[in-house]
Amino acid sequence: MKKINPCFAALLVAMIACLLFFGKSHAQSESEQIAAADLTNARIALMPFLQGQLESADQTIAKPLSKTLSELEVDYRGLPEGSDRIIYRVAGKELKLRFQDNMIPADLAVEAYAKIEKDPTLDTPRKRAVGFGKMLQADIVVVGTVWRFREKGALEDVPDSPASVGFALYLVDVETGLRLWRGTFDGTQKALTEDVLGGIKQLGMGLHWLTAEELARYGVKSLLRKLPS
């Protein structure tokens, strides 16, 4: 009987299991990108996540964050109820780890957001972020938008469909209203045969299927690594 090469056998076993690979992430590297010194002493607030996709990650537009909220196109099939609150919590924890005491507490941020006047037909993300930031006396507002937050097996007639998450983070200067930085994450878990060990080495999260929340946490971490250190 012909012996099987041990290395080949190990790879075959791994291929039967699943591995993780997460789509593409993009962080802005334009001239408007915020300098590291600007964040050192800034008061930073995370605004509750908006639902929808504001801008393409692949192009620069003349007036970013200027589309009214009523114009956003949202496919609610990919956004189960409460998913915006889940990713808000995930992003808040990671931002707190990154900016420590510079982050305004989440309970104060949520309270302030509830108090600002809102009109989706007139409000742009920029306008809402500036009003929110001024109420909190923040220097920088992190605006988050989510357009997909899908758990494994959530696709109809596809029981083995993997988790998939799409969201973006923006840094907005409260005084000027300028978008200082943008990072987007669009990730879907894939099988080993589509990644050949690249994803697991990159993530260091173990060989298992992720929940949408775990995938979102990885996405937030990957974007924050691209901020100036």
Does residue 199 lie within any of the structural domains? yes
Does residue 32 lie within any of the structural domains? yes
Domain that holds residue 156: 19-224
Does residue 113 lie within any of the structural domains? yes
Does residue 37 lie within any of the structural domains? yes
CATH of the domain at 194: 3.40.50.10610
Does residue 11 lie within any of the structural domains? no
Does residue 3 lie within any of the structural domains? no
pLDDT in tens, 16-25: 334 444 456 6
Domains in the chain: how many in total?
Answer: 1
Q: Which residues of 66-82 are buried (b: 16+ CB within 10 A; e: fewer)?
A: ebebeebeeeeebbeee
pLDDT in tens, 52-77: 887 665 555 456 688 888 887 777 77
**10-residue stretch averages of pLDDT, the chain, 229 residues long:** 51 39 54 59 95 68 74 79 94 95 96 93 92 96 92 57 86 91 84 46 56 89 84
HSE of 86, CA atoms in CB hemisphere, 13 A? 19
